[in-house]
Structure 1
Amino acid sequence: MEIEISAEYQAAEVVDLYDSVGWFQYTRDAGKLLRSLKNSHCVLTARNESGRLDGLTRALSDGETVCYVQDLLVRPSTQRSGIGRALVEELKRRYAGCRFFVLSTDAAGTEDAEKSHPFYRELGLIPHSEQRLEAFALPLKRQEHL
């Protein structure tokens, strides 16, 4: 597995990775997805020995005070192999000088949270509430799922 900063990826491989984890809202408009990657502060990719895209994370940041981890995806067939950990650890290294390192995810009690919350804690991330912080956001624009 090779982790690298990437500005080059094919639309088909990105859509395939996002689809593999069920993020169909992103793949309905491949052009928009690719523009979102291009406009991110940092995109890291993980590829297997044959070059297949198995993981991706992207950060939105000012590079000084805040790093927001927007996406963290690992192909289901390669999960629990260290790819997600390597991607997040590299972001943490790159943004070590930032005061805030933030990742939003599903709330406790959801199926995805049962897997992801322990993983995020292992990486040293803790919920806002445990830091006496709150997060506010506009309501999500929900679209019907495929």
Structure 2
Amino acid sequence: MKIDTELSLPVEEAATLYNAVGWTRYTKDLAKLRRAFDGSTLILAAREDDGTLIGLARVISDGETVCYVQDFLVLPECHRRGVGRALMAELRRRFDQCPFFLLSTDPPGSEEAVKSHPFYRSVGMIAHEEQKLMAFGLPVDR
């Protein structure tokens, strides 16, 4: 496996990965996804030795105070192979100076959270409320 920066990652290729994890909201409009990629600070791609895209991390950051991991996904059949851990290690290497290193994910108790929350904790992440913080956002479906 190889992890590298791919700011010009083809959206058609990325769409296959997004669809595989059920994030079809991203793939309904590939031109919008391209603009999102173009506006990102960093896109890391994890690839098999044969070049197959198996993981992706997309970040928006000012490089000093905040690193927001907008997208973090691994092909389901590649879970528990170290892909997510390697992507997160590379993000930490590049953005560990940012005191606010965060992401949004599924709520506790959801099917996805049962899998993702233990992973995020295993790489050192802590829920906002455990840090006496709260996050707010506009409704996603507005």
Letter of the structure 2 residue corresponding to residue 137 of structure 1: G
Identity of aligned residues (%): 53
| 2:139 alignment counterpart | 139
Write the distance in 1 (CA, Å) between the matches of 2:107 and 2:34: 27
Q: What root-mean-square deviation, in Å, do the aligned CA atoms of Structure 1 and Structure 2 show?
A: 1.0
3-state secondary structure, aligned to 2:13 = helix
Q: Which consecutive unaligned segments of at least 5 residues does structure 1 have?
A: none
TM-score (norm 2): 0.96
| Structure 2 counterpart SS, 1:54 | strand
Task: Count the aligned residue pairs.
Answer: 142
Secondary structure, counterpart of 2:93 in structure 1:
helix
Report Cα offsets for 1:79-127 as digits up to 9, x if no partner: 1111111111111110011111011101101000000000000000010
Q: CA deviation at 1:141?
A: 1.4
TM-score, L = length of structure 1: 0.94
User: 1:3 corresponds to which residue?
Assistant: 3
Look up the match of 1:113: 113
Equivalent residue letter for 1:59: V
1:34 maps to 2:34: yes
CA distance in 2, matches of 1:12, 1:131: 38
Q: Which amino acid aligns with 2:55?
A: G
| Cα separation, 2, equivalents of 1:75 and 1:114 | 17
Give distance in 2, aligned partners of 1:137 and 1:31: 24
Question: Please, which runs of 5 or more residues in structure 2 have no aligned partner?
Answer: none
